[in-house]
Amino acid sequence: MRFQNYITENINTKGITNNDILYIYKPIKKYIDSIYKPFKNKDYGLLYKNIDKILSIKKKIRTKDKQEIIILGVIDSKELKSNVCKKSHNIKPIKIYVGFPSRSVSYQAIFDYIVVGIPIKVLERIKSIENREYIEDDNINDKIITVVSPMYIQQTITHELSHWMDDALHNKHYTKRDKLWMKKNFDKQYDPLHMYKKTKWEESKTEIEALISEIELYRRTLTKDEWNIMTLDDLLINLKGMNSFSIIDNTNTRKMILKRLHREKLLGKNMR
Ligand SMILES: [Zn+2]
């Protein structure tokens, strides 16, 4: 497919301001805290109570592609203030749904929306862990806690925004690609991850692009010295972003990341 030829590196992900990320995060903030804090303190009684509260929220929407979302906020892309978001909005306006989706967080290019938050299945998975020995296994626990942490949710917001901007600012290559896919697969449900059945997602330029945005966001939380001490492994482990668990052992992906970090002047001294 020719879409691979669209070079995605010109995107200035640094252009998304913290303010825009926090503006999108705001409607879900207190709910994330209500899960993350008791989980971290091992107060499982409170944790389960708070998850039940979320699952009983009545306010839901159904998207054009029939996804159900427990909805906390709907943001129009015109409300975002960063220049790069304004530019993207002029070309491809979208809605940003904030809440708890029945599928996964994603950028749905042909339905003009992003959904961010925590997928309901993650909440149900936490709830289904009744065996205390299991939940008190710190390794497993850490992984689950990570995906409900404020930093992770903010990283996923950055990640999905960067897919949208990549699409808007580069000739709508996602939208075109997905429309073509829909034509051939009209009997199937639209799955924005369809192309990863051929290419490994962790080796796709578009995913690397989104990951670089996550890394850039994470970089903002550290000092220069902290950054320069880190190896690439440290970065990927600490980042705990959407994809970092599975890319650590992929040599191709590592090379692509290093190249992109270098180009963005984000490469720490110890990462080569
Ligand atoms: Zn992605």
Query: Are 165 and 199 in a shared domain?
Result: no
pLDDT, the chain, mean:
85
Separation of 133 CA from ligand 1 center, angstroms? 33
Supply the pLDDT for residue 1: 30
What token pair was written down for 55?
A: 């699952």
Domain count, the chain: 2
The answer, yes or no, to whether residue 94 has pLDDT greater than 60, is yes
Separation of 219 CA from ligand 1 center, angstroms? 19
Quick check: is 177 in a domain? no
**Low-confidence winner among 1-5, 44-48, 110-114 (lowest mean pLDDT):** 1-5
Query: Are 146 and 76 in a shared domain?
Result: yes
pTM of the predicted model as reported, rounded to 2 decimal places = 0.84
Listed ranges 102-106, 138-142, 235-239; the one with the highest mean pLDDT: 102-106
Separation of 45 CA from ligand 1 center, angstroms? 34
Separation of 163 CA from ligand 1 center, angstroms? 7
Query: Are 113 and 231 in a shared domain?
Result: no
**Low-confidence winner among 5-14, 75-84, 111-120, 193-202 (lowest mean pLDDT):** 5-14
SS3 62: strand
Cβ atoms of 142 and 237 closer than 8 Å: no
Separation of 200 CA from ligand 1 center, angstroms? 12
Query: Are 100 and 197 in a shared domain?
Result: no
Give the tens place of pLDDT for each residue, 239-267: 765 455 667 888 888 999 999 999 988 99
Query: Are 147 and 25 in a shared domain?
Result: yes
Quick check: is 174 in a domain? no
Using CA atoms, how far apart are residues 147 and 52, in angstroms rounded to an integer? 18
Using CA atoms, how far apart are residues 242 and 258, in angstroms rounded to an integer? 18
Separation of 144 CA from ligand 1 center, angstroms? 19
Mean pLDDT, range 3-16, rounded to an integer: 45
Query: Are 142 and 204 in a shared domain?
Result: no
Supply the pLDDT for residue 182: 83
Separation of 265 CA from ligand 1 center, angstroms? 22
Sheet containing 106-108, strands listed edge to edge, beginning at the edge strand earlier in sequence: 60-62, 68-76, 95-101, 113-117, 106-108
Quick check: is 193 in a domain? yes
Outline where the chain has alpha helix (H).
18-40, 44-55, 83-91, 120-128, 132-135, 138-147, 150-169, 173-184, 205-219, 224-229, 232-239, 244-247, 251-263
Mean pLDDT, range 68-97, rounded to an integer: 97
**Low-confidence winner among 129-138, 142-151, 176-185 (lowest mean pLDDT):** 129-138
Separation of 225 CA from ligand 1 center, angstroms? 29
Separation of 210 CA from ligand 1 center, angstroms? 6
Instruction: Examine the fold and report which residue of 107, 136, 169 is the final residue of a domain before the chain moves on.
Output: 169
Using CA atoms, how far apart are residues 25 and 45, in angstroms rounded to an integer? 26
